[in-house]
Chain A
């Protein structure tokens, strides 16, 4: 894009600011960063326009120059522009320095390898030390503001890269101590304090000494290379920290630093120098200085915090938020070493006073009140991190800090918290019930809040405030019956006066502990069910009842619902009514509810309402109590959805429909049974978790077997041995098969699950059945008869059955025992096997040799021949 006019830039900057992301996503965003840099040098644009361009680069450098190389190039270009400025006063020098600093930091390029960094740092240090930088830094009138700006830039760089200025401490001290025409005190003081703190932290972590860093005054730059050593150590340590606050005592670890007596003296001198001139700083800068120095000296040996003492009286008298906060930070950092018990009491008084002083604004009051309840006591008693009234804060002192109805909501809640803390203490002391006791006052206040919340047409904020106060009281005074009982009563009255607050009541019941929740639930239920069923407030009553209904007072509840049903004319009311029914179903209300649901299923106008009533009726009459609870309970599947209808559907989906789940069941085939009229598979079952109402369904591909019946087991528990399951098979053909198995079961949570188990094989031998045994003498004849009957329809075959080392006798007894008809051990056996549905297999094993036995077989089913071959060959391997 070519050179833009002033108007064009104004428009462009405006469009960018309106939505930076949208602007940068559009085509015109692409060149913005580049155009901005080049147009800064344009002579046609006014300085004002250029300042606004630079202001943009100060706020959005990451959008303009998104990566490190771009940021480096931008910083270089900004520095070039700075150098090229004509030597007359210009409003651009300051923002150019700020912009180059910002670009380096946000681009993450500040470091020894960045050319721009190596140019910027000496430039800034030169400016800060008031050196003559020659032409380009033009008029002397600008020197002082630029000196301050350079200090600010260095401070920002040091903040982002701690240790960067570790080598310049001596130089900075020298500048600050200069007599005569002097550098601006505030920027130098803050820069020195920050660099000092960072150096102490880095050296303590590295367990190194201060190495004379405080005293070396030789300016490092001016051509010499910048010292990055400390910064590189520091860089790794830019990590979360809790400045100056006791909770972080352990991580602070400055005690690791052991300065030599001389170093300790220099350090003390540097801190004293900073504190002595601190009155020249603005209040906010003084506060920053105190935080930094407090942090720097905390835990450091040989550095007594009395250095701060002369500042304290002056600071305690002010109303300035930042200063009083800094004093509190010093209090937290040094405790008794800086504040005696009397000092502590005075500080507490000043804080109490500031928290209510009519000349201070509300946000300051509230912050002071927070500080009061988090006050860093010398000898804290309670648990750390919890708001509590400090020991020295006597109830007498708090009189002016108690809430009243005229307070703003924030102030009312903050002061109410204090009042609750006082009541908690008060309860132990007195039970006189005086009019001015804090508990009595609290009750009056709550009554006032309830009265305001009850105003019909009043703003919701008033109602919200009343419930927030109730919640806070229930939280702080959970065990105090004397407070909670009237609160419960008052809330019930509020509901009577303004049932439209039902959503607030539901919310409160959801959040308070049972100390308030349980009694409140009871009175609210009474409040609702004691009314006639109609009226404008019906929808609120129904909403309320859905929350508070339970097994108690069933008949009153059902009576109310029956009366209400007649008034539920629109869909919304019907749904609200049904929600109450649903809540009753969940808690296990039975008898009367069934009648009501049946009535609703007939009576409601809306078909959806009727359907739901019918559904609930069906659920009530078919599901057991626990299952019903699960089915209607909060849906696990859709916790994020707030629509009750969707949640309901989801709830049913999880609870009533079958869920697919990974199998907690393992099945295996047990030993062969070989008895009875049909082959029966013995299944061993193991479970990993309790499983109820298990149903196993089996299926075989093709039509090898007749359909298989399901197997049912009422209950299985892990670790408890289960009886084997028997699965009768009805082969259509004598053939092995794969069993496809599905399991359906209920978990202990009540959910019904479905799972697909790994298939199980039905082996050929699993189908074998013996013939009925003839009497002892007739066996050979019986066998011969069978043998002859096979031909001519069947077939005869001869096989070689290899034998293992145990020989034929062992093989037969192991695998074929039930089917042996004639046995002449150890060499000869006649075996007859029934193959369902109606085939037979006859084997003659005769004249066994050491390594095998010849087998003659006959069968009337041709198709089994290959199976028999495989079977016999496999036997020896199986022994």
Chain B
């Protein structure tokens, strides 16, 4: 139950907001003397932006913001409002939009109850995540954002008429307006606005993102991890069609772990529930097939997420950077692992230089691909292309010279100080997963009228794939120290 919800695009000074006076009325009773009324949108927003450090007044030390004892460990804030503190305010910034709401606390606020004991906190998060998903579900974000923003009031009237959230999936609420006239002989799930009419088809897409931190150091272990998302779109007739999808691994595939499923999944094998990256790996790890029985919603949804620990990173490399008088001397070496499909949609290595002036001069030698120089951005991009050469190993060496630093133009970074530097790999391989995970068309069971057409897709994408300069300190995770 929310008192109020406020959303604000940083660029647009006028917030979209919704208030719930009946909830506020209850808050007054529940909170008793500790009740703080919600201010009007303007003051609320100002206080919120201050708290989130989004007001452009960072220059001087301000106790109310910078004091060491004002520690926030969650996205729940107390806002200073006319000498009192409005709490709890759930708020976060995403893609330039601030999302915020004030959940109802059904007890007195002093002493402050623990967040875990307030049911409306998670409901508040769900509301905000739901709005964020709705706004960003489309590819053509810029053009559609305004349309979607203008739809919000009507959608909230539908999905949250009295401040109690009925459905975090706003797209579903939008659909339910158009499906309203259908009468139902059977019990209809609330998360499914209507029924599908047309040719049955099921589409399954597995996207794996691989991230890595490579140091090329004796005392620091490299880390890498695969994160998979299985997305489904089931166009099937009937109110509650049942579908089972099985994910399989090849013989030497890496077991899936940390599996989180969509709420429409009706049951889960305990082996799926317990396979976790927290535990030390052993050979007895469950390696599938991973069965997911579910009744699909109308829209495309993420059936499950998983992580996996593959034995080697797809591309292993090192990066050495040394300051030599006025110039930097760099050496990069990258090696594609032989087990990885050598057919990229694209593959690039971005080598940024932070906290320095613009690039004035580059001398380099590449064994493969080409180098692009972005002088003003102090950035080198090594375009590797679609394939690694037969040797699977490529290298780059060169020297870079910089001009005088001018503060506005060149990028600032608070990690890359002195010799600390990284290169970041960007690549994509289609029809491939690093774990080997795949959804076999024949293993998809559909209990619905008509034989559906089943299509499957796979891809591997790099994400946060860093190779750190091995000649200088680099930020490490705790896991990297456990050699």
Q: With A242-B106, A279-B189, A359-B227 as known contacts, state yes or no: A155 contacts B164, CB within 8 Å.
A: yes
In the complex, are the beta carbons of A185 and B190 less than 8 A apart?
yes
In the complex, are the beta carbons of B119 and A329 less than 8 A apart?
yes
Asked whether A472 is an interface residue with its Cβ less than 8 Å from the other chain, the reply is yes
Asked whether B59 is an interface residue with its Cβ less than 8 Å from the other chain, the reply is yes
A11 vs B408: C-alpha distance in the bound complex, in angstroms?
Answer: 42
Greatest chain B CB density within 10 A among A149, A243, A244, A324 is at A243
Q: Which residues of B contact A (CB under 8 A)?
A: 18-22, 25-26, 29-32, 40-42, 53, 58-61, 63, 65-76, 90, 92, 94, 106-108, 111, 113-117, 119, 121-123, 125-126, 128-129, 153-154, 157, 161-162, 164-169, 172, 180-181, 183-191, 209, 211, 219, 225, 227, 229, 258-263, 265-268, 270, 272-274, 276-278, 302, 305, 307, 407, 412, 414-415, 417, 475-479, 481-482
A362 vs B92: C-alpha distance in the bound complex, in angstroms?
Answer: 9
Chain A residue, CB-CB nearest to B156: A55
In the complex, are the beta carbons of B190 and A184 less than 8 A apart?
yes
A95 vs B31: C-alpha distance in the bound complex, in angstroms?
Answer: 29
Shortest beta-carbon distance from A275 to chain B in Å: 14
In the complex, are the beta carbons of A404 and B475 less than 8 A apart?
yes
Q: With A60-B21, A239-B29, A364-B125 as known contacts, state yes or no: A353 contacts B75, CB within 8 Å.
A: no
Asked whether A772 is an interface residue with its Cβ less than 8 Å from the other chain, the reply is no
Chain A 261-287 near chain B by CB (<8 Å), digits 1 or 0: 000000000000000010111111111
Asked whether A316 is an interface residue with its Cβ less than 8 Å from the other chain, the reply is yes
5 contacts between A and B (CB under 8 A): A144-B184, A284-B168, A371-B116, A410-B75, A467-B66
Shortest beta-carbon distance from A688 to chain B in Å: 36
Chain A residue, CB-CB nearest to B57: A460
In the complex, are the beta carbons of B71 and A468 less than 8 A apart?
yes
Chain B residues near A282: list those with CB within 8 A: 166-169, 172, 190-191
Asked whether A358 is an interface residue with its Cβ less than 8 Å from the other chain, the reply is yes
In the complex, are the beta carbons of A61 and B21 less than 8 A apart?
yes
Chain B residues near A463: list those with CB within 8 A: 66
Of A182, A360, A370, the contact of B184 (CB 8 Å cutoff): A182
In the complex, are the beta carbons of B22 and A358 less than 8 A apart?
no
Chain B residues near A369: list those with CB within 8 A: 73-74
Shortest beta-carbon distance from A183 to chain B in Å: 9
In the complex, are the beta carbons of A180 and B26 less than 8 A apart?
no
In the complex, are the beta carbons of B68 and A468 less than 8 A apart?
yes
Of B21, B63, B67, B302, the contact of A59 (CB 8 Å cutoff): B21
Chain A 154-174 near chain B by CB (<8 Å), digits 1 or 0: 011001100000000000000
In the complex, are the beta carbons of B71 and A472 less than 8 A apart?
yes
Chain A residue, CB-CB nearest to B259: A317
In the complex, are the beta carbons of B74 and A452 less than 8 A apart?
no
In the complex, are the beta carbons of A98 and B260 less than 8 A apart?
no
In the complex, are the beta carbons of A184 and B188 less than 8 A apart?
yes
Shortest beta-carbon distance from A550 to chain B in Å: 22
Shortest beta-carbon distance from A730 to chain B in Å: 60
Q: With A357-B307, A402-B477 as known contacts, state yes or no: A363 contacts B75, CB within 8 Å.
A: yes
Grouping DSSP codes into helix (H, G, I), strand (E, B) and loop, the A interface class, with mixed when no group exceeds half, is: helix
In the complex, are the beta carbons of A159 and B61 less than 8 A apart?
no
Q: With A282-B190, A435-B481 as known contacts, state yes or no: A328 contacts B116, CB within 8 Å.
A: yes
Asked whether A455 is an interface residue with its Cβ less than 8 Å from the other chain, the reply is yes
Shortest beta-carbon distance from B104 to chain A in Å: 10
Chain A residue, CB-CB nearest to B189: A280
In the complex, are the beta carbons of B277 and A367 less than 8 A apart?
no
Of B117, B125, B162, B407, the contact of A156 (CB 8 Å cutoff): B162
In the complex, are the beta carbons of A367 and B121 less than 8 A apart?
yes
Q: With A284-B167, A507-B68 as known contacts, state yes or no: A144 contacts B183, CB within 8 Å.
A: yes
In the complex, are the beta carbons of A159 and B26 less than 8 A apart?
yes
Chain A 440-465 near chain B by CB (<8 Å), digits 1 or 0: 01001000100110010111111110
Greatest chain B CB density within 10 A among A245, A317, A405, A464 is at A317
In the complex, are the beta carbons of A346 and B481 less than 8 A apart?
no
Chain A residues near B270: list those with CB within 8 A: 313
Chain A 598-619 near chain B by CB (<8 Å), digits 1 or 0: 0000000000000000000000
Chain A residue, CB-CB nearest to B58: A460
A511 vs B63: C-alpha distance in the bound complex, in angstroms?
Answer: 12
Shortest beta-carbon distance from A329 to chain B in Å: 7
Asked whether A240 is an interface residue with its Cβ less than 8 Å from the other chain, the reply is yes
Asked whether A322 is an interface residue with its Cβ less than 8 Å from the other chain, the reply is yes
Shortest beta-carbon distance from A396 to chain B in Å: 8
In the complex, are the beta carbons of A318 and B263 less than 8 A apart?
yes
Chain A residues near B262: list those with CB within 8 A: 318-319
In the complex, are the beta carbons of B168 and A20 less than 8 A apart?
no
Chain B residues near A58: list those with CB within 8 A: 21, 157, 161
Asked whether A288 is an interface residue with its Cβ less than 8 Å from the other chain, the reply is yes
Greatest chain A CB density within 10 A among B58, B94, B181, B259 is at B181
Greatest chain A CB density within 10 A among B71, B154, B415 is at B71
In the complex, are the beta carbons of A243 and B106 less than 8 A apart?
yes
Chain A residue, CB-CB nearest to B18: A59
In the complex, are the beta carbons of A19 and B277 less than 8 A apart?
no
A61 vs B19: C-alpha distance in the bound complex, in angstroms?
Answer: 11
Shortest beta-carbon distance from A699 to chain B in Å: 47
Q: With A363-B74, A410-B75 as known contacts, state yes or no: A181 contacts B184, CB within 8 Å.
A: yes
Asked whether A504 is an interface residue with its Cβ less than 8 Å from the other chain, the reply is yes
In the complex, are the beta carbons of A314 and B190 less than 8 A apart?
no
Shortest beta-carbon distance from A234 to chain B in Å: 12
Given contacts A357-B260, A364-B125, 5 further A-B contacts (CB under 8 A): A55-B153, A280-B187, A317-B265, A404-B478, A417-B73
Chain A residues near B211: list those with CB within 8 A: 358
Q: Which residues of A contact B (CB under 8 A)?
A: 17, 19-21, 51-52, 55, 58-62, 94-95, 98, 101-102, 105-106, 108, 140-142, 144-145, 149, 152-153, 155-156, 159-160, 180-182, 184-187, 190, 238-245, 247-248, 277, 279-288, 291, 313-314, 316-326, 328-329, 332, 346, 349-350, 352-354, 357-364, 366-367, 369-371, 374, 376, 385, 396-397, 399-400, 402, 404-406, 410, 413-414, 417, 435-436, 441, 444, 448, 451-452, 455, 457-464, 467-468, 470-472, 503-504, 507-508, 511-512
Q: With A282-B169, A455-B414 as known contacts, state yes or no: A102 contacts B21, CB within 8 Å.
A: yes
Chain A residues near B94: list those with CB within 8 A: 361
Shortest beta-carbon distance from A750 to chain B in Å: 29
Chain B residues near A288: list those with CB within 8 A: 119, 123, 164
Q: With A317-B260, A400-B479 as known contacts, state yes or no: A280 contacts B190, CB within 8 Å.
A: yes
Chain B residues near A346: list those with CB within 8 A: 273-274
Chain A residues near B477: list those with CB within 8 A: 402, 404, 406
In the complex, are the beta carbons of B69 and A511 less than 8 A apart?
yes
Of A52, A98, A361, A376, the contact of B162 (CB 8 Å cutoff): A98
Of A239, A280, A350, A360, the contact of B30 (CB 8 Å cutoff): A239
Shortest beta-carbon distance from B95 to chain A in Å: 12
Chain B residue, CB-CB nearest to A511: B69
A55 vs B16: C-alpha distance in the bound complex, in angstroms?
Answer: 13
Chain B residues near A51: list those with CB within 8 A: 154
A349 vs B68: C-alpha distance in the bound complex, in angstroms?
Answer: 32
Q: With A106-B25, A181-B183, A317-B268 as known contacts, state yes or no: A325 contacts B119, CB within 8 Å.
A: yes
Shortest beta-carbon distance from B173 to chain A in Å: 10
Shortest beta-carbon distance from B78 to chain A in Å: 14
A827 vs B172: C-alpha distance in the bound complex, in angstroms?
Answer: 120
Chain B residues near A60: list those with CB within 8 A: 19, 21
Chain B residues near A366: list those with CB within 8 A: 73-75
In the complex, are the beta carbons of A322 and B126 less than 8 A apart?
yes
In the complex, are the beta carbons of A317 and B273 less than 8 A apart?
yes
Chain B residue, CB-CB nearest to A320: B263
In the complex, are the beta carbons of A317 and B261 less than 8 A apart?
yes
Chain B residues near A472: list those with CB within 8 A: 71
In the complex, are the beta carbons of B116 and A370 less than 8 A apart?
yes
In the complex, are the beta carbons of A19 and B42 less than 8 A apart?
yes
Of B113, B261, B277, B414, the contact of A318 (CB 8 Å cutoff): B261
Chain B residues near A417: list those with CB within 8 A: 73
Chain A residue, CB-CB nearest to B191: A282
Shortest beta-carbon distance from A197 to chain B in Å: 12
Shortest beta-carbon distance from B462 to chain A in Å: 14
